[in-house]
């Protein structure tokens, strides 16, 4: 653990998420961002940032394949809080080359193709969104998947060379739902239809009772390590 990570960890220890976010925004002025995909968790953090006027830039990755319901909650969120949410799109030349060569649904054919699509539509835009920043806030929770239980609420992301903070890392899903209900936070209605984790439309389905939280993501693949590469796991 770097000295910076250790210092920040000590400073925010015991703080509520809002106060920790306030500290980080003050420590990294104009160099802290929050990535939202408009899921339950991200809507909670967006509410914290916007209602407290925290100087944290909120952005999203517009892959071009998201659900209509996601566009709705995106628009509703901007209307409600009257704050900007910055969109980062894929490089059109990379998308065109991939689709021209392999078709619009190549991600179903192999893990390599799926990772290529995620790389073009998510990873490359993410790197642009993070460029020039020193702290990245996310909506990761420990119980979202087995892979994420080995993380920490504050960590150094070696891949992106940035400090990452997960404000509600220790929250349960019930905690998240209770917060949304208490503060009337707009949320994606797909959650009410069995989608605990919502990504691109072709790659996400509802989960069945008893299935893992992320079983609906890339369901045709091996069920282990269901990540797209945005968040490196140990």
* Residues annotated catalytic, as ranges: 228
Structural tokens at position 211: 């299935």
Q: How do strand 57-61 and strand 32-35 relate by DSSP bridges?
A: parallel
CA-to-CA distance for 167 and 17, rounded, in angstroms? 5
Q: How do strand 162-165 and strand 57-61 relate by DSSP bridges?
A: unpaired
Structural tokens at position 14: 């015991």
The 10 Å Cβ neighbour count of residue 180 is 18
Q: Please provide the size of the chain in residues.
A: 234
């Amino acid at each position: 653990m770097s000295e910076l990570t250790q210092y920040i960890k000590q400073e925010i220890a015991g703080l509520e998420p809002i106060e920790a976010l306030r500290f980080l925004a003050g420590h990294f002025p104009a160099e802290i961002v929050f990535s939202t995909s408009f899921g339950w968790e991200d809507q909670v953090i967006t509410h914290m940032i916007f209602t407290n006027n925290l100087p944290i830039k909120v952005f999203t990755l517009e892959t071009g394949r998201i659900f209509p319901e996601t566009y709705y909650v995106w628009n509703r969120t901007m209307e409600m809080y009257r704050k900007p949410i910055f969109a980062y799109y894929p490089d059109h030349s990379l998308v065109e080359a991939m689709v021209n060569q392999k078709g619009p649904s190549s991600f179903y054919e192999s893990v390599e193709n799926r990772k290529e699509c995620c790389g073009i539509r998510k990873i490359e835009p993410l790197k642009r969104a993070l460029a020039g920043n020193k702290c990245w806030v996310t909506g990761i929770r420990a119980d979202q998947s087995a892979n994420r239980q080995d993380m920490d609420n504050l960590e150094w992301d070696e891949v992106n060379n940035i400090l990452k903070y997960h404000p509600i890392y220790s929250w349960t899903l019930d905690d998240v739902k209770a917060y949304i209900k208490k503060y009337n936070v707009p949320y994606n209605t797909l959650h009410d239809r069995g989608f605990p984790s919502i990504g691109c439309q072709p790659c996400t389905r509802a989960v069945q009772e008893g299935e893992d939280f992320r079983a609906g993501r890339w369901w045709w693949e091996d069920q282990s390590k269901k990540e797209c590469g945005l968040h490196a796991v140990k």
